[in-house]
């Protein structure tokens, strides 16, 4: 497996991705402010792979739907990823290994172009390192049928569509970004990270920020699994 490092944008990375890679090295976007608290020493380390590609509808982002039978976050839409394991050697290798286990995607076809600082998910006791990747060509993906029941290459245009955006009011009263691309309901940490990617990449479009739905109502209408 590749060394646990990130490469600067260059040959093989599309120009539309370079602003995002540079942006993740600067100020933390407001959508992620809730997760910016210092990571506790006893937090469980994990990584997610934020994997971009170019599909038939243009630039896209890889999202997975978790099985409704899982104990943790059943039915939710998420990025591929999971907990650090002995021998991983760092967050990049964790993200690639977990993606391979969940989707069958060969790590050799993924170019790692950046990584964000660890974010604190206090509600679950995890710290998460978002690792940015570019999937240029080759390889294949398929859900494992147990933990992951479906895989989606979601066009960035669908995520940026003003009609697909809303705020979700969580049980603690916090307003979190939400997305409704196609038949998916994306909320929580995954949606907050996605919203920050759209902002940093320069893809965000003006949308109705007054559109707010309680999480319980949104789940009833769109699915998406129970709160964490």
Inside any domain, residue 9 = no
Inside any domain, residue 5 = no
Inside any domain, residue 8 = no
Inside any domain, residue 10 = no
Tens-place pLDDT, residues 98-111: 999 999 999 999 99
Please count the structural domains in the chain: 1
Task: Say what the pTM is.
Answer: 0.89
Tens-place pLDDT, residues 14-42: 889 988 888 887 667 889 988 887 888 88
Inside any domain, residue 185 = yes
The CATH number that applies at residue 147 is: 3.90.79.10
Tens-place pLDDT, residues 77-91: 999 999 999 989 899
Inside any domain, residue 3 = no
- Domain with 129 in it: 15-222
CA distance 134 to 129: 16
Inside any domain, residue 95 = yes
Inside any domain, residue 6 = no
């Amino acid at each position: 497996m590749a060394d646990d490092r990130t490469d600067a944008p260059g040959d093989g990375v599309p120009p539309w991705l370079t602003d995002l890679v540079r942006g993740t090295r600067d100020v933390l976007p407001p959508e992620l402010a809730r997760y910016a608290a210092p990571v506790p020493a006893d937090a469980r380390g994990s990584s997610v792979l934020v994997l971009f590609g170019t599909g038939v509808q243009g630039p896209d982002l890889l999202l997975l739907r978790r099985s409704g039978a899982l104990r943790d976050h059943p039915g939710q839409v998420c990025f591929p990823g999971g907990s650090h394991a002995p021998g991983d050697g760092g967050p990049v290798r964790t993200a690639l290994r977990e993606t391979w286990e969940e989707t069958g995607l060969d790590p050799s076809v993924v170019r790692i172009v950046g990584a964000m600082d660890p974010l604190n998910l206090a509600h679950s006791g995890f710290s998460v390192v978002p690792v940015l990747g570019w999937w240029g060509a080759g390889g294949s993906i398929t859900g494992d049928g147990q933990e992951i029941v479906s895989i989606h290459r979601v066009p960035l245009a669908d995520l940026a569509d003003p009609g697909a955006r809303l705020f979700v009011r969580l049980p603690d009263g916090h307003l979190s970004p939400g997305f409704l691309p196609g038949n998916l309901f994306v909320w929580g940490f995954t949606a907050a990270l996605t919203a920050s990617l759209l902002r940093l990449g320069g893809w965000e479009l003006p949308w109705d920020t007054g559109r707010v739905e309680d999480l319980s109502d949104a789940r009833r209408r769109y699915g998406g699994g129970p709160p964490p």
